[in-house]
Amino acid sequence: MHISLSLLQISNFGLNLAEGFGINTNIFETNIINLAAVLAVVISFVGKNLTALLEDRKKTILGNLQEASQRAAEAQERLNQAKTQLELAKKKAQQIREEGVLRATQEVNNCVSQHEERLSKLEEFKQETVQFYQQKAFKQAYIYVISRIMSRVKERLNKGLDSTYHVVVNNFYVSRFTEYNP
């Protein structure tokens, strides 16, 4: 209040010289003058500190923005690397899948060919076995027929040849002799 009275008195001094000395009772004008005086004091003393504080705050905010943009750039770079690795992984997975299909196809074809080979060997073995048993059966039949013929020939020889058998044997040899062409 002291300052405002003295400022009021100073301001009134200039006005009162023409009118005389007195107190200004207009509170609005006094408040404006007091406010202007206080602002002048605050700006002169605090203004430099406030400017320095604002400058420091501005530097801090700019530093934070630069750091944030740098982190964003690093994050974008890591994202791009991750996308690249994902694409490589997808390509690798596709390649593995294709190799798996190819190997499976080759294995199936290999198994089929081995199976066909085994079937052909079994068929060949079956044919050989059938042929063996046919030959064995023919041999047994041949032996049986020959033994029967031999036994009948022995019987005939033991009984002796009568005239009818003698004619039959001669006719047989004559027919064989006529068929012979040297």
Tens-binned pLDDT, residue by residue, of the chain (182 aa) = 444 444 444 444 444 444 555 666 778 888 888 888 888 887 777 777 778 888 999 999 999 999 999 999 999 999 999 999 999 999 999 999 999 999 999 999 999 999 999 999 999 999 999 999 999 999 999 899 888 888 887 887 777 667 777 788 788 888 887 877 76
Six-digit token string for 178: 């006529």
Contact by Cβ (8 Å): 5, 25: no
| Residue 20 confidence (pLDDT) | 56
Where exactly are the structural domains of the chain?
Answer: 2-179
What is the SS3 assignment for the chain? CHHHHHHHHHHHHHHHHHHCCCCCCCHHHHHHHHHHHHHHHHHHHHHHHHHHHHHHHHHHHHHHHHHHHHHHHHHHHHHHHHHHHHHHHHHHHHHHHHHHHHHHHHHHHHHHHHHHHHHHHHHHHHHHHHHHHHHHHHHHHHHHHHHHHHHHHHHHHHHCCCHHHHHHHHHHHHHHHHHCCC
| Residue 39 confidence (pLDDT) | 82
How far apart, in whole angstroms, are the C-alpha atoms of residue 155 and residue 110? 66
| Residue 12 confidence (pLDDT) | 46
| Residue 45 confidence (pLDDT) | 77
- Tell me which residue has tokens 């294709």: 98
| Residue 8 confidence (pLDDT) | 44
| Residue 13 confidence (pLDDT) | 46
